[in-house]
Amino acid sequence: MLDDLAILLPPVLAAEPPVDVALVLGSGLAGLADSIEAAHVVPYADIAGAPVPARQVPGHSGCLVIGELGGKRVAAFQGRVHCYQGFSAREASFPARLASAMGARVLVVTNASGGVSEGLSAGDLVLISDHINLACDNPLTGWPGPQGGTPFVPMRDAYDPELRDLALAAAAEAGVDLVAGGTYAWVRGPSFETPAEVAMLRGLGADIVGMSTVPEVIAARALGLRVLGLSLVTNAAAGAGLSHDEVLATGRLAEERMHRLALAILQRLP
Protein backbone atom coordinates (compact mmCIF):
# COMPACT_ATOMS: atom_id res chain seq x y z
CA MET A 1 0.00 0.00 0.00
CA LEU A 2 1.20 3.49 -0.80
CA ASP A 3 2.43 5.52 2.17
CA ASP A 4 1.08 8.71 0.61
CA LEU A 5 -1.96 9.41 -1.54
CA ALA A 6 0.13 11.51 -3.92
CA ILE A 7 2.03 9.86 -6.75
CA LEU A 8 5.17 10.73 -8.68
CA LEU A 9 4.66 11.88 -12.24
CA PRO A 10 5.41 8.91 -14.53
CA PRO A 11 8.32 9.44 -16.99
CA VAL A 12 6.00 9.26 -20.01
CA LEU A 13 4.27 12.43 -18.72
CA ALA A 14 7.18 14.21 -17.04
CA ALA A 15 7.95 16.35 -20.11
CA GLU A 16 4.35 17.61 -20.38
CA PRO A 17 3.64 21.19 -19.22
CA PRO A 18 1.35 21.43 -16.19
CA VAL A 19 -2.38 21.19 -16.87
CA ASP A 20 -5.06 23.59 -15.64
CA VAL A 21 -7.98 21.20 -15.49
CA ALA A 22 -8.40 17.42 -15.48
CA LEU A 23 -11.57 15.75 -16.75
CA VAL A 24 -12.70 12.20 -16.05
CA LEU A 25 -15.03 11.11 -18.85
CA GLY A 26 -17.52 8.41 -17.90
CA SER A 27 -19.48 5.82 -19.86
CA GLY A 28 -20.49 7.09 -23.29
CA LEU A 29 -18.88 10.49 -22.75
CA ALA A 30 -15.30 9.81 -23.83
CA GLY A 31 -15.93 11.41 -27.23
CA LEU A 32 -15.42 14.84 -25.68
CA ALA A 33 -11.69 14.16 -25.76
CA ASP A 34 -11.83 14.07 -29.58
CA SER A 35 -12.19 17.86 -29.53
CA ILE A 36 -8.91 18.42 -27.69
CA GLU A 37 -6.41 20.28 -29.86
CA ALA A 38 -2.69 19.48 -30.17
CA ALA A 39 -3.53 16.25 -28.40
CA HIS A 40 -1.01 13.84 -26.94
CA VAL A 41 -2.68 10.47 -26.38
CA VAL A 42 -1.19 8.13 -23.78
CA PRO A 43 -2.73 4.69 -23.16
CA TYR A 44 -3.14 3.92 -19.46
CA ALA A 45 -1.04 0.81 -20.03
CA ASP A 46 1.93 3.09 -20.79
CA ILE A 47 1.59 5.01 -17.50
CA ALA A 48 3.60 3.48 -14.67
CA GLY A 49 1.39 2.73 -11.70
CA ALA A 50 -1.90 3.13 -13.53
CA PRO A 51 -4.48 0.44 -12.76
CA VAL A 52 -5.29 -1.34 -16.03
CA PRO A 53 -8.05 -3.97 -16.19
CA ALA A 54 -7.56 -7.19 -18.10
CA ARG A 55 -10.55 -6.11 -20.20
CA GLN A 56 -11.77 -2.55 -20.66
CA VAL A 57 -15.42 -1.82 -19.93
CA PRO A 58 -17.15 -0.70 -23.16
CA GLY A 59 -17.23 3.10 -23.24
CA HIS A 60 -13.97 3.36 -21.29
CA SER A 61 -11.20 3.37 -23.89
CA GLY A 62 -8.40 3.64 -21.33
CA CYS A 63 -6.41 6.60 -22.65
CA LEU A 64 -5.21 9.91 -21.23
CA VAL A 65 -5.55 12.78 -23.72
CA ILE A 66 -3.55 15.94 -23.02
CA GLY A 67 -3.91 19.19 -24.95
CA GLU A 68 -5.91 22.40 -25.33
CA LEU A 69 -9.67 22.75 -24.92
CA GLY A 70 -11.74 25.84 -24.23
CA GLY A 71 -8.64 27.99 -23.75
CA LYS A 72 -7.30 25.72 -21.01
CA ARG A 73 -4.62 23.05 -20.91
CA VAL A 74 -6.48 19.89 -20.01
CA ALA A 75 -5.87 16.24 -19.23
CA ALA A 76 -8.87 14.11 -20.14
CA PHE A 77 -9.19 10.58 -18.79
CA GLN A 78 -11.13 8.51 -21.33
CA GLY A 79 -12.70 6.12 -18.90
CA ARG A 80 -11.82 4.87 -15.44
CA VAL A 81 -11.50 1.65 -13.50
CA HIS A 82 -14.20 0.56 -11.08
CA CYS A 83 -14.29 -1.34 -7.83
CA TYR A 84 -16.59 -3.90 -9.45
CA GLN A 85 -13.63 -4.87 -11.65
CA GLY A 86 -11.76 -5.95 -8.55
CA PHE A 87 -9.91 -2.69 -7.89
CA SER A 88 -9.78 -0.93 -4.53
CA ALA A 89 -11.09 2.59 -4.00
CA ARG A 90 -7.45 3.71 -3.75
CA GLU A 91 -6.77 2.32 -7.23
CA ALA A 92 -10.02 3.78 -8.58
CA SER A 93 -8.89 7.21 -7.37
CA PHE A 94 -5.89 7.13 -9.73
CA PRO A 95 -7.20 9.88 -12.09
CA ALA A 96 -7.42 12.36 -9.21
CA ARG A 97 -3.97 11.47 -7.92
CA LEU A 98 -2.39 11.73 -11.38
CA ALA A 99 -4.25 15.00 -12.04
CA SER A 100 -2.72 16.45 -8.88
CA ALA A 101 0.74 15.30 -9.95
CA MET A 102 0.21 16.99 -13.33
CA GLY A 103 -0.53 20.32 -11.65
CA ALA A 104 -4.30 20.47 -12.06
CA ARG A 105 -6.17 22.48 -9.47
CA VAL A 106 -9.66 21.62 -10.77
CA LEU A 107 -11.05 18.13 -11.40
CA VAL A 108 -14.22 17.75 -13.46
CA VAL A 109 -15.77 14.31 -12.99
CA THR A 110 -18.51 12.98 -15.25
CA ASN A 111 -20.47 9.77 -15.10
CA ALA A 112 -23.52 7.92 -16.32
CA SER A 113 -26.16 7.29 -13.69
CA GLY A 114 -29.54 5.79 -13.04
CA GLY A 115 -32.32 8.18 -12.13
CA VAL A 116 -33.62 7.62 -8.61
CA SER A 117 -35.71 10.78 -8.23
CA GLU A 118 -39.01 10.29 -10.00
CA GLY A 119 -38.69 13.61 -11.82
CA LEU A 120 -35.56 12.57 -13.72
CA SER A 121 -35.57 11.08 -17.22
CA ALA A 122 -33.00 9.49 -19.50
CA GLY A 123 -30.91 12.23 -21.09
CA ASP A 124 -31.10 14.66 -18.16
CA LEU A 125 -27.83 16.30 -17.10
CA VAL A 126 -27.46 16.70 -13.35
CA LEU A 127 -25.03 18.94 -11.47
CA ILE A 128 -23.82 16.80 -8.57
CA SER A 129 -24.08 18.64 -5.25
CA ASP A 130 -23.37 15.80 -2.78
CA HIS A 131 -22.82 12.06 -2.60
CA ILE A 132 -23.55 9.02 -0.45
CA ASN A 133 -20.84 6.37 -0.19
CA LEU A 134 -22.56 2.97 -0.04
CA ALA A 135 -19.69 0.90 -1.44
CA CYS A 136 -17.96 0.28 1.91
CA ASP A 137 -14.58 1.51 0.65
CA ASN A 138 -12.59 4.74 0.77
CA PRO A 139 -9.39 5.75 -1.06
CA LEU A 140 -7.99 7.23 2.16
CA THR A 141 -8.06 3.94 4.07
CA GLY A 142 -4.58 3.30 5.45
CA TRP A 143 -3.27 6.72 4.40
CA PRO A 144 -1.46 8.67 7.14
CA GLY A 145 -1.89 11.92 5.22
CA PRO A 146 0.70 14.12 3.49
CA GLN A 147 3.82 14.54 5.64
CA GLY A 148 2.07 12.65 8.43
CA GLY A 149 -1.01 14.88 8.32
CA THR A 150 -4.60 13.85 8.82
CA PRO A 151 -6.72 11.77 6.43
CA PHE A 152 -9.88 13.15 8.09
CA VAL A 153 -10.85 15.33 5.12
CA PRO A 154 -13.97 17.54 5.40
CA MET A 155 -16.49 16.60 2.72
CA ARG A 156 -19.18 19.20 3.37
CA ASP A 157 -18.47 21.07 0.14
CA ALA A 158 -16.78 18.27 -1.78
CA TYR A 159 -18.49 19.54 -4.93
CA ASP A 160 -17.26 23.13 -4.97
CA PRO A 161 -20.18 25.61 -4.55
CA GLU A 162 -18.48 28.32 -6.62
CA LEU A 163 -17.80 25.89 -9.46
CA ARG A 164 -21.42 24.74 -9.32
CA ASP A 165 -22.60 28.35 -9.71
CA LEU A 166 -20.15 28.75 -12.58
CA ALA A 167 -21.49 25.59 -14.25
CA LEU A 168 -25.09 26.77 -13.99
CA ALA A 169 -24.17 30.11 -15.55
CA ALA A 170 -22.23 28.30 -18.30
CA ALA A 171 -25.18 26.00 -18.99
CA ALA A 172 -27.53 28.96 -19.36
CA GLU A 173 -25.07 30.65 -21.71
CA ALA A 174 -24.69 27.48 -23.79
CA GLY A 175 -28.42 26.75 -23.89
CA VAL A 176 -28.02 23.42 -22.11
CA ASP A 177 -30.60 22.28 -19.57
CA LEU A 178 -28.83 21.34 -16.33
CA VAL A 179 -30.59 20.09 -13.20
CA ALA A 180 -29.31 22.45 -10.52
CA GLY A 181 -28.29 19.86 -7.94
CA GLY A 182 -28.49 16.19 -7.14
CA THR A 183 -27.12 13.70 -4.62
CA TYR A 184 -25.20 10.82 -6.19
CA ALA A 185 -25.24 7.43 -4.47
CA TRP A 186 -22.14 5.30 -5.09
CA VAL A 187 -22.79 1.56 -5.12
CA ARG A 188 -20.24 -1.11 -5.92
CA GLY A 189 -22.04 -2.87 -8.81
CA PRO A 190 -21.79 -4.30 -11.38
CA SER A 191 -25.39 -5.52 -11.12
CA PHE A 192 -28.04 -2.85 -11.48
CA GLU A 193 -30.22 -2.00 -8.50
CA THR A 194 -33.36 -3.87 -7.48
CA PRO A 195 -36.65 -1.97 -7.07
CA ALA A 196 -36.31 -2.37 -3.30
CA GLU A 197 -32.81 -0.90 -3.40
CA VAL A 198 -34.04 2.05 -5.45
CA ALA A 199 -36.77 2.67 -2.88
CA MET A 200 -34.10 2.57 -0.16
CA LEU A 201 -31.90 5.02 -2.10
CA ARG A 202 -34.82 7.38 -2.55
CA GLY A 203 -35.48 7.22 1.18
CA LEU A 204 -31.83 8.05 1.89
CA GLY A 205 -32.09 11.20 -0.21
CA ALA A 206 -30.30 10.03 -3.36
CA ASP A 207 -31.34 11.50 -6.70
CA ILE A 208 -29.06 9.43 -8.94
CA VAL A 209 -27.05 6.24 -8.52
CA GLY A 210 -23.88 4.91 -10.13
CA MET A 211 -20.78 2.77 -9.74
CA SER A 212 -17.91 5.29 -9.88
CA THR A 213 -16.72 8.85 -9.18
CA VAL A 214 -16.75 8.98 -5.38
CA PRO A 215 -13.20 7.56 -4.91
CA GLU A 216 -11.86 10.23 -7.29
CA VAL A 217 -13.73 13.00 -5.50
CA ILE A 218 -12.55 11.98 -2.02
CA ALA A 219 -8.92 11.71 -3.17
CA ALA A 220 -9.14 15.02 -5.02
CA ARG A 221 -10.38 16.81 -1.91
CA ALA A 222 -7.63 15.21 0.18
CA LEU A 223 -5.09 16.59 -2.30
CA GLY A 224 -6.63 20.07 -2.38
CA LEU A 225 -8.26 19.94 -5.82
CA ARG A 226 -11.56 21.70 -6.41
CA VAL A 227 -14.20 19.35 -7.83
CA LEU A 228 -17.09 19.81 -10.25
CA GLY A 229 -19.36 16.83 -10.89
CA LEU A 230 -21.71 16.27 -13.84
CA SER A 231 -23.91 13.20 -14.29
CA LEU A 232 -25.85 12.04 -17.33
CA VAL A 233 -29.00 10.13 -16.44
CA THR A 234 -29.06 7.22 -18.89
CA ASN A 235 -31.98 5.24 -17.51
CA ALA A 236 -34.51 5.00 -14.73
CA ALA A 237 -32.91 2.99 -11.93
CA ALA A 238 -34.41 -0.52 -11.76
CA GLY A 239 -36.28 0.17 -15.00
CA ALA A 240 -37.25 -2.55 -17.45
CA GLY A 241 -34.68 -3.77 -19.97
CA LEU A 242 -31.60 -2.17 -18.39
CA SER A 243 -28.31 -2.79 -20.17
CA HIS A 244 -24.88 -1.20 -20.54
CA ASP A 245 -25.68 -0.75 -24.25
CA GLU A 246 -28.51 1.58 -23.22
CA VAL A 247 -26.07 3.56 -21.10
CA LEU A 248 -23.67 3.97 -24.03
CA ALA A 249 -26.44 4.88 -26.48
CA THR A 250 -27.77 7.64 -24.23
CA GLY A 251 -24.22 8.90 -23.76
CA ARG A 252 -23.74 9.20 -27.50
CA LEU A 253 -26.98 11.18 -27.82
CA ALA A 254 -25.81 13.58 -25.11
CA GLU A 255 -22.31 14.15 -26.52
CA GLU A 256 -23.14 17.38 -28.31
CA ARG A 257 -24.75 18.93 -25.22
CA MET A 258 -21.89 17.77 -23.00
CA HIS A 259 -19.41 19.25 -25.48
CA ARG A 260 -21.13 22.64 -25.44
CA LEU A 261 -21.44 22.62 -21.66
CA ALA A 262 -17.82 21.56 -21.08
CA LEU A 263 -16.49 24.27 -23.40
CA ALA A 264 -18.62 26.92 -21.71
CA ILE A 265 -17.41 25.79 -18.27
CA LEU A 266 -13.74 25.71 -19.29
CA GLN A 267 -13.98 29.18 -20.83
CA ARG A 268 -15.39 30.55 -17.57
CA LEU A 269 -12.79 28.96 -15.31
CA PRO A 270 -10.07 31.37 -14.12
- pLDDT by residue (tens digit) across 200-253? 999 999 999 999 999 999 999 999 999 999 999 988 876 655 565 666 677 677
- 1 assigned to some structural domain: no
Rounded distance between C-alpha atoms, residue 241 and residue 118, angstroms: 18
**Is the distance from CB of 129 to CB of 227 less than 8 angstroms?**
no
Domains in the chain, number: 1
Which are the contacts of 55, defined by CB distance < 8 A and separation ≥ 6? none
- Residue 45 to residues 2, 50, 159, 240, 270: CA-CA distances in angstroms? 20, 7, 30, 36, 32
Residue count of the chain? 270
- 23 assigned to some structural domain: yes
Per-residue pLDDT tens for 69-103? 999 999 999 989 999 999 999 999 999 999 999 99
Q: The pTM is what?
A: 0.92
Which residue, among 49, 50, 71, has the nearest Cα to 60 in the 3D structure?
A: 50
- 6 assigned to some structural domain: no
CATH number at residue 77: 3.40.50.1580
- 3 assigned to some structural domain: no
- 8 assigned to some structural domain: no
- Residue 176 to residues 9, 126, 172, 208: CA-CA distances in angstroms? 36, 11, 6, 19
- 9 assigned to some structural domain: no
**Is the distance from CB of 235 to CB of 247 less than 8 angstroms?**
yes
Rounded distance between C-alpha atoms, residue 61 and residue 80, angstroms: 9
Rounded distance between C-alpha atoms, residue 242 and residue 114, angstroms: 10
Per-residue pLDDT tens for 27-68? 667 788 888 999 999 999 999 889 988 766 544 478 999 999
Structural domain that includes position 104: 14-268
Rounded distance between C-alpha atoms, residue 58 and residue 65, angstroms: 18
- 19 assigned to some structural domain: yes
